[in-house]
């Protein structure tokens, strides 16, 4: 037990509870910390036999990493936030004056460790396993969709060029440069069950098969996933094919198909909820790193935390 400082007592006695404190209290309650630290622990550095500075506690670093994802913080900004915010320090389990605050290099090294061992994907899958055990992720139906994520198009950098792993694509009458996050969302719970990243020019339908787990009895998607071959194979197994109907070139949809599309659209609306959390709540509107691998690793973390946020009230209850 740490000794409580006067600053902590004053902080605990304040009258108003901020939105940040409420959010962090919910995350404290719903994140399966022991399960996630067990995933990372085999790869985390141990203290050397000749002494030297011991590493920061693993759970402290994991909590700081979660703060980074939630508040879209760079490594230097995460260090400064720990000095500035009492709520963030309490969430991380640090006491100013008693505990060492990890510097930006320590935070950077932890992020690189997660990327190097593909642990962010393991964290995403562990969160979904946890939700399946709780009876929240049922996997009876899958909603497929993709969202564009912008990448910096400026060439004012060390390389003097745009990110070579990002590409351009046209949506409507506008051009976008960046990447895509392709997701398969559970029909019942609305959480992301599968995720794949690609450059922006990859068509949504090319990632369709990667988003299905094979146990679903229904699949729903927009007109970008229209495929007669896939539809026939899906229906042959007695499953529901819920991809929106598309009119032939120059033709019009039959009124029955229009009604079917309205029904499918009402079901597909749930696929937008994880994207809202990703872009509006977590502030992930533009890629932070160069290269597809680093950004895909961050997306696994973001969607894992987003899943817990979407069902937090059910988990707390």
- Cα 186 to Cα 193: distance, rounded to the nearest angstrom: 6
pLDDT of residue 13: 62
In the predicted structure, residue 4 carries a pLDDT above the cut 60: no
pTM for the model? 0.91
- Cα 76 to Cα 289: distance, rounded to the nearest angstrom: 15
In the predicted structure, residue 43 carries a pLDDT above the cut 90: yes
Span 162-199, pLDDT tens digits: 899 999 999 888 999 999 999 999 999 999 999 999 99
What domains are defined for the chain?
Answer: 6-117 (no CATH), 138-291 (3.30.420)
- Cα 174 to Cα 203: distance, rounded to the nearest angstrom: 16
In the predicted structure, residue 21 carries a pLDDT above the cut 80: yes
Average pLDDT across the chain, whole number: 91
Span 82-122, pLDDT tens digits: 999 999 999 999 988 888 899 999 999 999 999 999 999 99
Closest CA to 163 of 146, 149, 147: 149
pLDDT level of residue 3 (50, 70, 90 thresholds):
low
Give the mean pLDDT of 290-294: 94
Higher pLDDT, 10 or 149: 149
Q: Which residues pair with 186 in a beta bridge?
A: 142
Q: Which residues pair with 48 in a beta bridge?
A: 51
For tokens 């506690």, the residue is 57
- Cα 112 to Cα 108: distance, rounded to the nearest angstrom: 6
Span 226-284, pLDDT tens digits: 999 999 999 999 999 999 998 887 778 889 999 999 999 999 999 999 999 999 999 99
Closest CA to 140 of 74, 217, 34, 213: 217
Measured in whole angstroms, how far is the alpha carbon of residue 17 from the centre of its chain? 27
Torsion of CA 65, 157, 154, 183, to 10 degrees: -30
Burial (0-12, 13-18, 19+ Cβ within 10 Å), 284: buried
Q: For residue 281, give the DSSP letter.
A: I
């Amino acid at each position: 037990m740490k000794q409580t400082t006067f600053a902590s007592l004053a902080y605990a006695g304040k009258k108003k509870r901020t939105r940040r404190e409420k959010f962090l209290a919910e995350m404290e309650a719903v994140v399966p910390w022991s399960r996630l630290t067990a995933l990372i622990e085999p790869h985390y550095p141990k203290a050397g036999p000749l002494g030297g500075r011991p590493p920061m506690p693993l759970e402290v670093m994991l909590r700081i990493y979660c703060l980074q994802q939630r508040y879209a913080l760079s490594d230097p900004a995460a260090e400064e936030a720990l000095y500035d915010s009492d709520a963030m320090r309490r969430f991380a389990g640090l006491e100013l004056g008693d505990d060492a605050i990890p510097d930006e290099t320590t935070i950077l090294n932890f992020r690189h460790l997660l990327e190097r061992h593909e642990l962010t994907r393991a964290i995403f899958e562990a969160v979904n396993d946890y939700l399946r055990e709780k009876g929240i992720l049922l996997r009876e139906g899958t909603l497929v969709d993709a969202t564009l994520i912008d990448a910096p198009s400026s060439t004012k950098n060390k390389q003097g060029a745009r990110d070579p792993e990002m590409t351009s694509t046209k949506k409507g009458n506008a051009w976008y440069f960046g990447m895509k996050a392709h997701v398969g969302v559970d029909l019942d719970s609305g959480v992301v069950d599968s995720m794949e990243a690609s450059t922006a020019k990859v068509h949504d339908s090319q990632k369709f098969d990667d988003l299905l787990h094979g146990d679903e009895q229904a699949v729903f998607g927009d007109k970008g996933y229209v495929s007669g071959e896939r539809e026939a194979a899906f229906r042959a197994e007695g499953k529901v094919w819920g991809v929106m109907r598309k009119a032939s070139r120059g033709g019009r949809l039959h009124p029955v198909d229009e009604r079917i599309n309205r029904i499918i659209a009402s079901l597909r609306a749930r696929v937008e909820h994880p994207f809202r959390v990703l872009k509006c709540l977590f502030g992930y509107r533009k890629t932070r790193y160069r290269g597809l691998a680093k950004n895909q690793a961050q997306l696994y973390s973001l969607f894992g935390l987003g899943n817990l946020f979407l069902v937090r009230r059910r988990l707390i209850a």
